[in-house]
């Protein structure tokens, strides 16, 4: 029963998207110039487990058969062939897009999604050309192939990212988009709408002259900004609405693409090539931004874990700049007296000192770091073996601590109470 309901839902959505697509543009071609229904099939497969694909493909196949009978006036056999083209091409494209089951919001997932969309569109267009050559011998097969390929890939790139972005969406009272990026996205999207209405206006070629085609790019940066500020869900929704607005204005004969048509509806085909490029750019940009955001979130998580670990075991870390001699201490250290005002801190409990091997505080190199290790040893600390290039590690050792507890202080300037360079290291960490 659950599979039957999914199949029925896909069929209803498929037919609804087909009627919306048909209402947007009319042409002399056999292929519907705007096609969102394939995006429904493709998206349903992307968000579902593969064991559920047969039911989803069956629903899409039934809907496509009905559409072939009613809209294209095909016989039962050709209508079934039309449905087979829809089902087989979308299944192959979805299989490519889900090879690694990557999130489509990541760069790798976006690349797989685009690869699957391209493959599904090209294979579907090739098979559809054979169908129209069989059923409509007088059709211009080159135009039919181009119209099918562009309308299909645009539908996939607009619908599939939107569905995958809203997968698992739940309305929550808090934790949503902050007000600042939301308002910024509203301003950017409003600028996009205004730019589209100006550029894709009636008699754009007469109004803007020779720069009309160039001005077609003006609205897109506004859509890019809105897409980035609104995140994956708001960005995919803005992309869908913006693309449909541009295609709809062009289908009405407005804008720079409608200046000259070799056949009725050619402008809609051409503008979909324009929309396809920008849909891919927006998809990749959102994926890169999401990848960066995820990487920063992981870095913050590991930084917090590292700090908590150091605090739990009583370890302090310090980084020395070999050129300036400045020291940067980790969290949890508090100021304390020390030599020459350079990075002086005390840390409760056990301390660890990270320092470039073979350098003085002033930045000059010491051969093998011997003098630096000697000062650490006089301070009651053990220098770590020089196993890693560029740093020497020292940990507060039991030897110095036992000497202080037993009262057998060494004769070095640090242990004898002198004011040597490393005298502050020998003091107890409290």
The closest alpha carbon to 119, from 140, 142, 98, belongs to: 98
Coil/strand/helix, residue 3 = helix
Domain end among 296, 313, 330: 313
CB neighbours of residue 103 within 10 Å: 18
Query: What is the CATH number for 54?
Result: 1.10.1760
Is 112 in the same domain as 222? no
Q: Is residue 296 part of a domain?
A: yes
Which residues are CB-neighbours of 233 under 8 A, at least 6 positions away?
Answer: 165, 166, 169
Coil/strand/helix, residue 212 = helix
Is 301 in the same domain as 321? no
Residue 407, phi-psi category: left (phi > 0), alpha (psi -120 to 50), beta (remainder)? left
pLDDT confidence of residue 207: 76
By the 8 A CB rule, do 38 and 155 touch?
yes
pLDDT per position as a tens digit, 112-128: 999 999 999 999 999 99
By the 8 A CB rule, do 361 and 340 touch?
yes
Buried b (16+ CB within 10 A) or exposed e, 143-170: bbbbbbbbbbbbbbbbbbbbbbbeeeee
Is 19 in the same domain as 150? yes
| CA 155 centroid distance within chain | 20
By the 8 A CB rule, do 71 and 18 touch?
yes
Instruction: Find the domain containing 127 and state its range.
Output: 1-166
pLDDT confidence of residue 317: 67
Is 126 in the same domain as 273? no
Is 37 in the same domain as 159? yes
Is 296 in the same domain as 248? yes
Q: Is residue 171 part of a domain?
A: no
How long is the chain? 430
The closest alpha carbon to 253, from 265, 240, 241, belongs to: 265
β-strand pairing of 345-346 with 381-383: unpaired
Quote the pTM value. Answer: 0.70
pLDDT per position as a tens digit, 378-387: 444 444 444 4
Q: Is residue 395 part of a domain?
A: yes
Is 387 in the same domain as 370? yes
Is 195 in the same domain as 100? no
pLDDT confidence of residue 346: 44
Q: How far apart are CA 224 and CA 339, in angstroms?
A: 54
Domain count for the chain: 3
Q: Is residue 173 part of a domain?
A: no
The closest alpha carbon to 15, from 51, 69, 52, 55, belongs to: 69
By the 8 A CB rule, do 96 and 119 touch?
yes
Domain end among 272, 296, 313: 313
Is 219 in the same domain as 264? yes
Which residues are CB-neighbours of 183 under 8 A, at least 6 positions away?
Answer: none
Is 253 in the same domain as 144? no
Domain end among 142, 166, 190: 166
Q: How far apart are CA 225 and CA 231, in angstroms?
A: 10
For 335-340, the CB contacts below 8 A with 24+ separation are 336/424, 336/427, 337/424, 338/424, 339/420, 339/421, 339/422, 339/423, 339/424, 340/421
Residues of the chain with pLDDT under 70: 102, 172-175, 205, 314-318, 320, 329-430
Is 18 in the same domain as 149? yes
Q: Is residue 172 part of a domain?
A: no
pLDDT per position as a tens digit, 320-331: 677 777 777 665
Is 156 in the same domain as 211? no
């Amino acid at each position: 029963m659950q599979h039957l309901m999914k199949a029925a839902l896909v069929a209803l959505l498929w037919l609804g998207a087909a009627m919306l697509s048909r209402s947007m543009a009319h042409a002399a071609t056999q292929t519907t110039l705007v096609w969102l229904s394939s995006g429904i099939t493709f998206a349903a497969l992307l968000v579902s487990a593969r064991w559920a694909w047969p039911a989803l493909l069956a629903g899409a196949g039934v809907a496509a058969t009905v559409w072939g009978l009613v809209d294209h006036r095909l016989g039962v056999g050709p209508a079934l062939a039309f449905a087979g083209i829809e089902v087989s091409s979308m299944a192959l494209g979805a299989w490519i897009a889900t090879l690694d089951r990557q999130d489509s919001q990541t760069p790798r997932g976006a690349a797989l999604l685009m690869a699957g969309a391209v493959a599904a569109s090209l294979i579907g267009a090739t098979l559809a050309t054979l169908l129209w050559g069989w059923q409509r011998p007088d059709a211009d097969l080159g135009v039919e192939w181009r119209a099918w390929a562009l309308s299909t890939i645009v539908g996939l790139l607009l619908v599939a990212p939107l569905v995958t972005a809203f997968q698992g969406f739940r309305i929550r009272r808090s934790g949503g988009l902050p007000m600042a990026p939301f308002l910024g996205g509203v301003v950017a999207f409003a600028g996009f709408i205004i730019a589209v209405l100006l550029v894709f206006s009636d008699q754009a070629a007469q109004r803007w002259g020779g720069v009309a085609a160039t001005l077609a790019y003006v609205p897109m940066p506004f859509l890019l900004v809105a897409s980035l500020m609104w995140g994956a869900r708001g960005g995919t929704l803005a992309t869908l609405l913006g693309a449909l607005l541009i295609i709809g204005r062009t289908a009405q004969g407005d804008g720079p693409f409608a200046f000259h048509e070799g056949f009725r509806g050619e402008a809609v085909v051409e503008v979909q090539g324009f929309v396809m490029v920008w849909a891919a750019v927006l998809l990749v940009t959102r994926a890169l931004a999401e990848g960066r955001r995820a990487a920063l979130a992981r870095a913050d998580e590991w930084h917090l874990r590292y700090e908590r670990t150091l605090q739990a075991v009583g370890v302090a870390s310090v980084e020395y700049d070999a050129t300036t001699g400045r020291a940067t201490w980790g969290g949890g250290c508090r100021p304390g007296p020390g030599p020459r005002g350079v990075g002086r801190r005390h840390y409760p409990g056990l301390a660890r000192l990270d320092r470039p091997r073979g350098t003085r505080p002033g930045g000059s190199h010491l051969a093998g770091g011997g003098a630096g290790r000697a000062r650490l040893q006089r301070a009651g600390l053990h220098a770590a073996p020089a196993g890693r290039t560029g740093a020497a590690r020292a940990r507060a050792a039991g030897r110095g601590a036992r000497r202080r507890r037993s009262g057998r202080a060494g004769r070095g300037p640090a242990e004898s109470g002198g004011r040597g360079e490393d005298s502050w290291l020998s003091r107890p960490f409290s």
